[in-house]
Amino acid sequence: MQNFCSQLDVSDHQRKVLESYALLVNDLAMEILEKLAKLMGVNGGLFEGWPMMFRMNRYHFSLETVGSLGVQMHSDSVFLTILQDDENVGGLEVMNKSGEFVPVDPLPGTLVVNFGDIATAWSNGRLCNVKHRVKCNEATIRFSIASFLLGPRDGPVEAPPELVDDQHPRLYVPFTWEDYRKLRFTDKFKTSDSLPDMLINPKSE
């Protein structure tokens, strides 16, 4: 958060608000993941100290951009995203299992939580990295704040032993989230996730 604030021209008050927001959202991420791990039968304490990243999005939607995309379809290249979306302006759409985009209408006082690519690899394919995009529906300004829990600070992303057995063989090679992000931001993977490149047994084309 210090890095984030130093890149913006923020007052002391704004800095305090951002810092307490970051602490609260980090606590929330830890609570969600500890509960999730317990439900999946994985021993706790795994996610403590994982780095987070924040992104504030400001969309300048105009009459010319109505109908076009503010953010192309993507999955987040992280473990978990906690998104505070604009309370008045819609546009976020998530892909369902049939491959259709479904709007996520604004609901004041709520947060949108979704898994990213790292969660899919960590869970040995059990948690789904949801594809989403942002569409411009009206000429207005739209805000969102995305808080991303990235992955293990040190060491590789790999499924814990509780999630690997004869029926569920390990799907992905261990990799660090930093290496994964580098790969994700190459041209090849601008709009699709690069997880297929991490498969131990890649599917033949």
Ligand X SMILES: O=C(O)CCC(=O)C(=O)O
Q: How many CB atoms neighbour CB 45 within 10 A?
A: 8
Does residue 117 interact with Fe ion by CB under 5 A?
no
Does residue 93 interact with Fe ion by CB under 5 A?
no
x-or-dash pattern for ligand X, window 3-42, by CB under 6 A? ----------------------------------------
| Closer to Fe ion by Cβ: residue 76 or 85 | 76
CA torsion 160-78-149-155 (nearest 10°) is 50
Please identify which residue in 16, 35, 38, 55 interacts with ligand X, judged by CB under 6 A: 55
Contacted by 117, from Fe ion, ligand X, none: CB < 5 to 8 Å by type: none
Extract long-range pairs of 92-97: CB within 8 Å, 24+ residues apart. Answer: 92/132, 92/133, 92/134, 92/144, 93/132, 93/133, 93/134, 93/135, 94/130, 94/131, 94/132, 95/130, 95/131, 95/132
Does residue 137 interact with ligand X by CB under 6 A?
no
Enumerate binding residues for ligand X (CB under 6 A).
55, 57, 71, 76, 83, 85, 92, 132, 134, 144, 146
